[in-house]
Amino acid sequence: MLENKKIIVALGGNAILSDDPTAQAQIEAIRNTCEKLVQLVGHNNQLIISHGNGPQVGNLLLQQQLADSEKNPALPLDTCVAMTEGSIGYWMQNEMSSILKKQEINKSVVSLITRVEVDQNDPAFTHPTKPIGPFLTEIEVAEASQDGAKYIEDSGRGYRKVVPSPKPVGIVEVDTVKQLVENDVITISCGGGGIPVIKSDNGYTGIEAVIDKDFASKKLAEQVEADLFIILTAVDNVYINFNKPNQKKLEEVSIDELKQYIEEGQFEPGSMLPKIQAAVEFVESSNNGTAIITSLDNLGNLHEGAGTVVKKNDSLKVSNS
């Protein structure tokens, strides 16, 4: 049983969006997700939720481009990130509140529009890698790429547009998140990786980019000193030699072991690799924190050691001795 833990859960896109991109379908998916997240509430746990927005922000950009005109100009990418952070946060806040009420759990939920500081000299701005929007065929890419955008093949599922994805430097609203958590408010923060902003003497300015939600969630987990960082994905565990005859499921693993697998190229960039890197970086920077990579359906089994559990090398030796 998880108890007395400060928990950050980073939701993957499959927890929000199905094949149906309508608002009602996304709300239904979020409702199902929240019903599973509620399992982490109680037993004096403090819960912070983050989520992706790749498909949503990509679809919104397409809508903006189609409606672009002199009287109704398309909005920039950072504003589209803010819009999807707000809409997804609103849906999640609504559904989580309803489920808590039905289960007679007296906790408040709030979604926080979160800015995330990035470095304007980050090399990501000259080398876009973050997939957003729908999956396209080769023919659709040939037509779409005429706008000068870059598209890459994504995990064998088709082609997607890619944009700059700078690393997060810090969470601007982290003090507000801490205050909410200390008051036992379930907080939805860093949605879509947060709104990328550059710091200046006059404050912050938005910049065209999308921050990877796993790295933004990791930075938030570090800054609020979380005990447990859960990264949800489509599979129950991380695998090496994935889809090969010698495929192996990783259960409890050290950061050194994962670093070796990264060097071997075991994990797909833009898919499982950033999740592994975020988990390793969080555990390295934390005093006693643990990271778990698993599926949404596996949340109820965490007390049984479900998922891929990432720990420091010394703590892993102690637990196995």
Q: Is residue 250 part of a domain?
A: yes
Question: Mean pLDDT, to the nearest integer, of 269-282?
Answer: 92
Distances (CA, A) of 116 to 81, 104, 121, 168: 11, 34, 15, 6
Q: Is residue 68 part of a domain?
A: yes
Q: Is residue 277 part of a domain?
A: yes
Q: Is residue 97 part of a domain?
A: yes
Q: Is residue 93 part of a domain?
A: yes
191, HSE (Cβ side, Cα atoms, 13 Å): 29
- Check: CB of residue 7 under 8 Å from CB of residue 227: yes
Categorise residue 157: left if φ over 0, alpha if ψ from -120 to 50, beta otherwise.
alpha
- Check: CB of residue 17 under 8 Å from CB of residue 52: no
Question: Mean pLDDT, to the nearest integer, of 287-294?
Answer: 93
Question: pLDDT tens across 56-73, in order?
Answer: 888 898 898 889 899 999
More confident residue, 279 or 59: 279
Phi, psi of 73 (to 5 degrees): -70, 145
pLDDT computed for residue 50 by the predictor: 97
Neighbour-count burial of 317, counting CB atoms closer than 10 A to its CB (0-12 exposed, 13-18 middle, 19+ buried): exposed
Q: Is residue 304 part of a domain?
A: yes
- Check: CB of residue 107 under 8 Å from CB of residue 184: yes
Confidence of residue 300 (pLDDT cuts 50, 70, 90): confident
pLDDT computed for residue 321 by the predictor: 42
pLDDT computed for residue 269 by the predictor: 82
The CATH number linked to 20 is 3.40.1160.10
The pTM assigned to this predicted structure is: 0.89
Confidence of residue 303 (pLDDT cuts 50, 70, 90): confident
Confidence of residue 146 (pLDDT cuts 50, 70, 90): low
Diameter of the chain measured on Cα atoms? 69
What mean pLDDT is reported for the chain?
90
Question: Mean pLDDT, to the nearest integer, of 9-16?
Answer: 83
Quick check: 97 pLDDT over 60? yes
pLDDT computed for residue 145 by the predictor: 65
Confidence of residue 285 (pLDDT cuts 50, 70, 90): very high
Q: Is residue 237 part of a domain?
A: yes
Question: pLDDT tens across 182-226, in order?
Answer: 999 999 999 999 999 999 999 999 998 999 999 999 999 999 999
Q: Is residue 143 part of a domain?
A: no
Give the pair of three-digit tokens for residue 262.
């990264």
d(CA 320, CA 252): 10
Active site residues: 13-14, 130, 213, 275
Q: By residue range, what is the domain housing residue 218?
A: 6-114+172-311
Number of independent structural domains in the chain: 1
